[in-house]
Amino acid sequence: MTVKELCDSCSFDIINMADPDREVDGCYIGDLLSWVMGRAQEGNVWITIMSNVSVIAVAALSDVSCVILSEGVSLDDEVRKTAEQKGINVLSSKENTYMTALQISGKI
Q: Could you tell me the pLDDT band of residue 41, with boundaries at 50, 70 and 90?
A: very high
pTM of the model: 0.96
Kindly state the helix (H) or strand (E) to which residue 3 belongs, with its residue range.
Answer: helix 3-10
Q: What is the pLDDT of residues 61-85, one digit of tens each?
A: 999 999 999 999 999 999 999 999 9
Task: Write out pLDDT tens, residues 82-100.
Answer: 999 999 999 999 999 999 9
The DSSP output letter for 12 is P
